[in-house]
Amino acid sequence: MAMAVGPASDDEVMSTINTTPLVDVMLVLLIIFLITIPVVTTSIPVQLPKERVEVRETKPENVIISVDPAGNIYWYEARLPNVDALVAKLKTVSTKQPQPEVQIRGDLAARYEGVGKVLLACQRAGITKVAFITEPPPLGG
């Protein structure tokens, strides 16, 4: 690296690159990023639910709706022809006091669309208690 000592003549062209401004700009950007990243990554502190296995008590008044992998909807073991039939059945159940819980059993391979139709039918019928039935994870895993 060459260094010019003394006054330079106007005829000579300086062929070295002055990297000091580049280093200054990079250090300023690094400091800005180090200061702003912790501000961006913080979020509102919330208490998230922990996974737990609840033993659900099957009551005779509970309604069990199943969705198979093809998206067919079943009221207990009886297949329903369409969502309107499900809404009609749920409307009769929603008038009971106390209102029974609707338990949705969606197959693992089922598309969300089938389960979403059941949720929409529950909402249209005025059902207030909806539960999703799952299998507990294997022990030790």
Query: What's residue 91's pLDDT?
Result: 93
This prediction's pTM:
0.58
Q: Give the rounded distance of the alpha carbon of 38 from its chain centre.
A: 23
Q: How far apart are CA 140 and CA 61, in angstroms?
A: 34
Tell me the mean pLDDT per 10 residues along the chain, length 141: 59 80 92 78 56 62 87 89 92 89 86 90 91 73 53
C-alpha 131: how far from chain center: 18
Tokens (6 digits) for 28: 């300023």
For the chain, the structural domain boundaries read: 63-132
Q: What is the CA radius of gyration of the chain?
A: 33
User: What per-residue confidence (pLDDT) applies to 61?
Assistant: 78
Taking domain 63-132, whether its CATH number is 3.40.50.620 is answered by no
What's residue 34's pLDDT?
84
Q: What is the pLDDT of residue 56?
A: 61
